[in-house]
Chain A
Amino acid sequence: MRGERHLRLGVTALVAACLACENPDAGQQPTAGGQSGVLLAASVDIPANYGIHDTFVRDGLAFVCAWNTGVMIYDVGNGIAGGSPHNPRLVSTYVTPGGEDHNAWWFWNPHTGEKKYLFVGQEGPGTIGARSLGDIHVLDVSDLAHPNEVASFHLDSAGTHNFWMDEDAQILYAAYYNQGVVALDVSGDLTGNLSSRLIDSIRPGGEGSTYTWGVQLLNGSLYAIDMLSGFWQLGLAGGKFSVLGGGDNVRERYSSDLAVGNNGFGYTGTWGSGRTTGIVGNAVKVWRLDASGTPALTDSIITAGIGTVSDIKLSPDGKLLMFTAERGPNAGFWFYSLKDPAKPTYVARYLVPSNSGGVHTGKFATIAGRLYAFGAQDPSPGSALLILDLTAIDQ
């Protein structure tokens, strides 16, 4: 019996020792915060089903792309569910086939007045720089409380990333990673397989050197930022893409997102590490667009304590440049004044420190006369939709 007792005590001691090994830091949250007039309006927890990747905000509605949780539509001031930027109210959630919901664009057709279609990008598995998967899903959101998929677009051996729309021309432009840039005709009714709607595609860096992150249309030029081959000016005429300028102009880092404005300048981000030993993706490149729109590098903003510039946007009035950052103690939102668009000057930041995450994407939106930023906070430090009131710094 004495042996049994010793055995029992031995097991109890073992379990007690293991209990004592519990991580004392578990549950602690990193310090977060803003400064100089950046106010947190709301933080909405998003299921950590990989979490939130991107947000499209229009007319007081935020379309939150939350990976396998699906597209979550929030009233953030529209009124249909009594929501506001300080009190977002969930209207509906729709999971597209396969999940991996990454980004969206709510199409307002100026010809028909319809606000029927929501394009959703699926970011499937990929080898960065080489292969990707993921379709474009088209949801009918005529009834915002009951979205329904009506069509999709698939390319073999390539997957979609960020969108831009020429709504007047009813063309959806999609960055398509290793396929470059794709243009789709989205006029009329959209049903079933949209493969016949493909207008054209282009790999601006050529096959093997193209992995396009984002696109933006400005004054007839389509700008594309490619992770491998840099910042491009493209054109679409007669149903055919062409390269108008730029390219092979960012070589020390991998590029990320872009924003071009009517101020005659473009801004692009950088991503990750490993292209040049010891250099990380902590740069925002400033480009002057000449009379024909061709970009020329003029300056860079280097931010210490980050590893990736994950998104770049210009405020609707063109006064502010926002970029979001990941991987580092200075991950979060960064805001610069564009009083001199060639030399952006620091205004404020809102940090969510994380060595592995931060803020994945950010979008501006004006709601009830106030300027807000909507950000996708990564699973580290905690998957959430962050809404910042920037009105005080929008000078």
Chain B
Amino acid sequence: MIRVAALALTGAWAPLTLLPAQAPTAKLSGQGILIYTAVDPIPGGGMLGEARLVQPILMLDLGASRGRLLLHTSANFEGWTMPNGELTPGAWGEGYIDRRHPHTYVHELMLSLPDLLGQLDGAARTTFSAGKGFVPFGTDDPMSRPVERFPVNHHLSQLLERAVAIVAVEAGPATVEASLFNGDEPTSPSDWPDLSRFGDSWAVRLTLRPGSGLEWQASTALVHSPEHPGGAGPDARKWSSSLLADRPIGSARFYGLAEWARTSEAEGAFVFHSVLLEAALTTGRHHPYYRFERTERPEETRTFDDPFRTVRPPLDNSLLGITRWSIHTAGYGVRLGTPARRLTLEPFVEVSFGQIATVGEGFFDPVAVYGSDTFRAVSIGLWLDWGMRGHRMGRYGVPMDMPGMPMQMSSRAR
């Protein structure tokens, strides 16, 4: 912890003192969602409703030396506001199940050197980024997408909060990112990546922008022992491909994402698939959206006193079974105030309906655990955005903006 904090402070202060004096740039932004969610059924049966402040983020972006040095930091306070997770049917990962886990307090701390080679790489642009943050794999973080409820595929489609070094080369419409990182996932909000494991995992992502407002990516990663910090767990081989559209349609703005992901663990002993489609329309103040996903997840032994937690670290490599979650989610928000204001408020309502099926064999029986193989969830909330528009969480240096609307749209594509 101390070592990484020292690195962060060094990163924060050193660039401004060592580089030629240039007017530095800075941007402070943030967001948070006040939300009440009711779910029926929860593990053990019955209904549960909870109010929480979720996704509370403060983000600080610093630029120096005419943008040749960027420091991107984001602090996530979910460890304070939702230490037991957010009620989210189907969510899993980092020891939580049917609740979305809180992220780490230091969510991102990334130093980037855009256009590292200047004219040496010709028309291309090479960026080097390092620190704690997102691995270049899969799709954008759900926090920067239209639907509030995290998808079940979060741990199939994103890799985050790792000590990561990324080289990105952008040439015309193509960007290739290659990275090394530590495989271990966080074990608590205050956790830091195990630096001794840096480099035991890798990821590569190819992104193409065939036209305005269109983006296609394909990526793959090998993650060593993500669930066992000591490195004794099985490896995960991951694949992801997606097509993202973000463009105007008349006076409205359309956002659409089609995604496929696959994770194979323990040399193919367990394979999890996901397909996801989501779309949003922003027309004036109005913001309807919809998502469908069908995602498989592991069913693991839950802890004694909390049916929303799983045993960590796991005691072996066994699963109780695999379930497939098919979920429709629809929502509607209405923006208060004008788009030009730095602070945006958007009340919204969101509903989900899902079905739970078992895949293959195994012990796990959804009816025995939930009392039903279907569920419903409804949320009402108020989304607060303070200057986070345009930030694309998980992209460093090169294509941080949304494909069709650089630095214009909000982080939630609204």
A: residues with CB less than 8 A from B are: 3-4, 7-8, 10-12, 14-15, 17-19, 21-23, 26, 47-50, 53, 67-68, 99-100, 102, 123-133, 208, 254, 272-278, 280, 305-307, 326-329, 355-357, 360, 378-380
Contacts and interface: CB of A to CB of B under 8 A. Distances in A.
Assign chain B's interface to a size class. 35 or more
A256 B311 CA distance: 18
B311 to A, nearest CB: 4
B301 interface: yes
Contacts of B316: 50, 53, 100, 102, 123
B362 A14 contact: no
Interface in B347-371: 360-365, 368-369, 371
A379 B95 CA distance: 14
B188 interface: yes
Interface in B1-41: 1, 5, 8-9, 12-13, 16, 24, 26, 28
Contact of B75 (A17, A126, A133, A380): A17
A14 B75 contact: yes
8 contacts: A10-B60, A26-B190, A49-B230, A123-B316, A125-B234, A128-B362, A272-B301, A274-B365
A363 to B, nearest CB: 18
A133 B266 CA distance: 11
B312 interface: yes
A55 B304 CA distance: 25
A126 B312 CA distance: 17
Contacts of B71: 11
A11 B13 contact: yes
A382 to B, nearest CB: 12
B70 to A, nearest CB: 13
Interface of B: prevailing SS: loop
Given A19-B5, A124-B269, A327-B303, A8 B16 contact: yes
A49 B233 CA distance: 8
B304 A50 contact: no
Contacts of B302: 273
Contact of A22 (B190, B228, B304): B190
A306 B320 contact: no
Given A7-B62, A307-B303, A355-B309, 5 more contacts: A10-B60, A15-B8, A127-B360, A274-B363, A305-B304
B27 to A, nearest CB: 10
A181 to B, nearest CB: 19
Contacts of B5: 15, 18-19
B98 to A, nearest CB: 14
B157 to A, nearest CB: 22
Given A18-B106, A19-B5, A133-B269, A355 B305 contact: yes
A53 B318 CA distance: 14
Task: Give the one of A12, A21, A130 with max B CB within 10 A.
Answer: A21
A125 B360 contact: no
B337 interface: no
A126 B189 CA distance: 30
A26 B80 CA distance: 16
A235 to B, nearest CB: 29
Contacts of A305: 304
A357 B360 contact: no
B58 interface: yes
Nearest to B58: A14
Contact of B60 (A14, A274, A306): A14
A19 B1 contact: yes
B105 interface: yes
B319 A128 contact: yes
Contact of B364 (A132, A274, A326): A274
Given A21-B105, A129-B361, A278 B233 contact: no
B75 A125 contact: no
Nearest to B16: A4
Most buried by A among B305, B310, B322: B305
Contacts of B368: 274-277
Nearest to B305: A355
Contacts of B310: 356
Given A11-B62, A125-B270, A128-B319, A355 B306 contact: yes
B311 A22 contact: no
B297 to A, nearest CB: 13
A7 B26 contact: yes
Contact of A125 (B1, B106, B269, B321): B269
B73 interface: yes
Contacts of A274: 320, 363-365, 368-369
A356 B16 contact: no
A160 B105 CA distance: 42
A96 B309 CA distance: 33
